[in-house]
Amino acid sequence: MAKIQAPVQRGQVVHVTAADLTHEGKGVAKVDGYPLFIEGMLPDEAGEVEVTKLNKGYGFAQLKKLEQASPERVDPPCPVYDECGGCQVQHLSYNGQMDMKYNQVRGVIDRIAKLPDVPVHPVLGMDEPWRYRNKAQVPVGLSGGRIVAGFYKKRSHDIIDMTECLIQHEESDAIIQRVKDVCAANGVMPYDEQRHKGVLRHVMARIGYQTGEKMAVLITRTSELPNAKEIIDGIRAAVPGITSIVQNVNPDKTNVIFGPTTKTLYGEDVIYDTIGGVKFAISARSFYQVNPVQTEVLYNKALQYAGLTGEETVIDAYCGIGTISLFLAQKAKQVYGVEIVPQAIEDARQNAELNGITNAYFEAGKAEEVIPNWYKQGIKPDVIVVDPPRKGCDEALLATILKMKPKKVVYVSCNPGTLARDLRILEDGGYRTREVQPVDMFPQTVHVEAVAVLELM
Ligand code: SAH
């Protein structure tokens, strides 16, 4: 199809009605067939917009005056919603968010996977879609002579002070505020990114939802923390019940948050949490699912799809710290997990031991290299679970799955587009997609998670 020439000019104000919502949460309105993407506009809304950017085939505009609001529009409860950008769809009702996420999955299953007859179930959402995150990490800086901690203003490195974040656990908000206050009271200078001076760069808070354990992490430029004793005592007094205070040192001029050295200043090196009866030790650096309530919903779906009876051999590709592997090991004969980050594999092994799980084997490496080796060694999985990063499964891994021919593939995905692409490849190789279940792991944001089950024909 030929790309449509822009019928509008930059700076022009036009009256439009939005018809659609992109996967980034922007409204889409067409002017003589030419699509404009408009932040903050919802389907069925009409108003005046100013054209800000023109590309071949599509452009961007800014909402100037909303004349007709969608019945799904709500007042975003967060006072810094517009400046922050961490959430993208707080102005859309939760039902509206569920519809948007459903449509996105349905759309790619139809268009990219070409599977219009495969059932996509309604999104499994949260009863209470707020305060769900167990990990907060915020940059610290100086603004107007004051120590501030919050978030980078959209498309900038200016730090906006923040007292609460409505998708974080209340305790995380409290930890960040108290650490900020205690550090300010004890003369700890916030990090100055421009001059690469100062001490405190980031504060991180982690909460065990099931255990109530709390960790504060101070990420500093210098390994010396001035007045360390006063700071530790101050945080312990201000955050009753805190179980762990950790310092991570990052001396480099970088956007990367964590540095190479971590030391425990008070209490434990880790906090514990449980998902579906499996206990996990979480260190400052560990990867761990951020929405523990919905993680359990997702894993239960994956478990149901795997249909385990206790006799099966299961491979968990892209296993992280082994959360899915250990969850499934309770119902399988043997589980093999593979993950590219060696530290995560160490965590997985420790977590297996912590739970007395002896039928889970973990190996560090690329899934697309380790699994073919397992195949050569004669390992024959009944079920392969994959949970790849956004770019989806490596082609070599998909080819190996087609060679190994497990009865079932359970595909957990954080990107519907690559899920649909990979389902098509597996379908062409002889699998049939039975159903797809989207799960809302990240309410108020545009992220969509889904799990699909395929069977060998
Ligand atoms: N299943 C885990 C984590 C999934 S996130 C959980 O539910 O918690 C995806 C994981 O894939 C990350 O841990 C990432 O480090 C890992 N990864 C990325 N590329 C990989 C590859 N080529 N081979 C194996 N693991 C990979």
From first to last of its 457 residues, what are the pLDDT tens digits of the chain? Answer: 567 788 999 999 999 999 999 999 999 999 999 999 999 999 999 999 999 999 999 999 999 999 999 999 999 999 999 999 899 999 999 999 999 999 999 999 999 999 999 999 999 999 999 999 999 999 999 988 889 999 998 888 889 899 999 999 999 999 999 999 999 999 999 999 999 999 999 999 999 999 999 999 999 999 999 999 999 999 999 999 999 999 999 999 999 999 999 999 999 999 999 999 999 999 999 989 999 999 999 999 999 999 999 999 999 999 999 999 999 999 999 999 999 999 999 999 999 999 999 999 999 999 999 999 999 999 999 999 999 999 999 999 999 999 999 999 999 999 999 999 999 999 999 999 999 999 999 999 999 999 999 999 9
| Distance in angstroms (rounded) separating the CA atoms of residues 189 and 171 | 24
Q: What residue's CA is closest to ligand 1, atom 19?
A: 340
Q: Are strands 334-339 and 360-364 parallel, antiparallel or unpaired?
A: parallel
Query: Is 289 annotated to bind ligand?
Result: yes
Judge whether 331 and 358 are in contact, CB under 8 Å.
no
What spacing in Å lies between the alpha carbon of 318 and ligand 1's midpoint? Answer: 4
Helix boundaries (H) for 251-364? 292-306, 323-329, 342-354
- Kindly state the DSSP code that residue 228 receives in the 8-state scheme: H
Q: Which regions of the chain carry the CATH code 3.40.50.150?
A: 99-127+291-456
Judge whether 295 and 136 are in contact, CB under 8 Å.
no
pLDDT of residue 105: 98
Ligand 1 atom nearest residue 388's Cα: 9
Q: Which of the following is catalytic: 183, 319, 393, 414?
A: 414
Report helix, strand or coil for 34.
Answer: strand
With a 6 Å cutoff on the Cβ, whether 79 touches ligand 1 is no
What spacing in Å lies between the alpha carbon of 17 and ligand 1's midpoint? Answer: 41
Distance of CA 37 to the CA centre of its chain: 24
Residue closest to 81 by CA, chosen among 177, 144, 151, 176: 151
Q: Which regions of the chain carry the CATH code 2.40.50.1070?
A: 135-275
- Give the number of other Cβ atoms within 10 Å of residue 434's Cβ: 13
CA angle 392, 333, 395 (to 5 degrees): 20
With a 6 Å cutoff on the Cβ, whether 237 touches ligand 1 is no
Residue 384 pairs in a beta bridge with 315, 409
Q: Which regions of the chain carry the CATH code 2.40.50.140?
A: 13-68
Judge whether 456 and 427 are in contact, CB under 8 Å.
no
With a 6 Å cutoff on the Cβ, whether 367 touches ligand 1 is yes
Ligand 1 atom nearest residue 394's Cα: 22
| Distance in angstroms (rounded) separating the CA atoms of residues 78 and 94 | 15
Judge whether 270 and 246 are in contact, CB under 8 Å.
no
Does 78 participate in catalysis according to the annotation? no
Residue 31 pairs in a beta bridge with 34
Judge whether 265 and 246 are in contact, CB under 8 Å.
yes
**Domain 135-275 in CATH 1.10.760.10:** no
CATH superfamily of 13-68: Nucleic acid-binding proteins (2.40.50.140)
pLDDT of residue 154: 84
pLDDT of residue 156: 85
| Distance in angstroms (rounded) separating the CA atoms of residues 264 and 249 | 11
N-terminal to C-terminal alpha carbon distance within the chain: 37
- Cβ contacts of 306 within 8 Å, gap of 6 or more: 312, 314, 328, 331, 332, 383, 385, 408, 410, 453
Ligand 1 atom nearest residue 338's Cα: 24
Judge whether 158 and 194 are in contact, CB under 8 Å.
no
CATH match for 99-127+291-456 among 3.30.450.30, 1.10.645.10, 3.40.50.150, 3.30.70.890: 3.40.50.150
Ligand 1 pocket: which of 314, 318, 412 to mutate (most atoms within 8 A of CB): 318
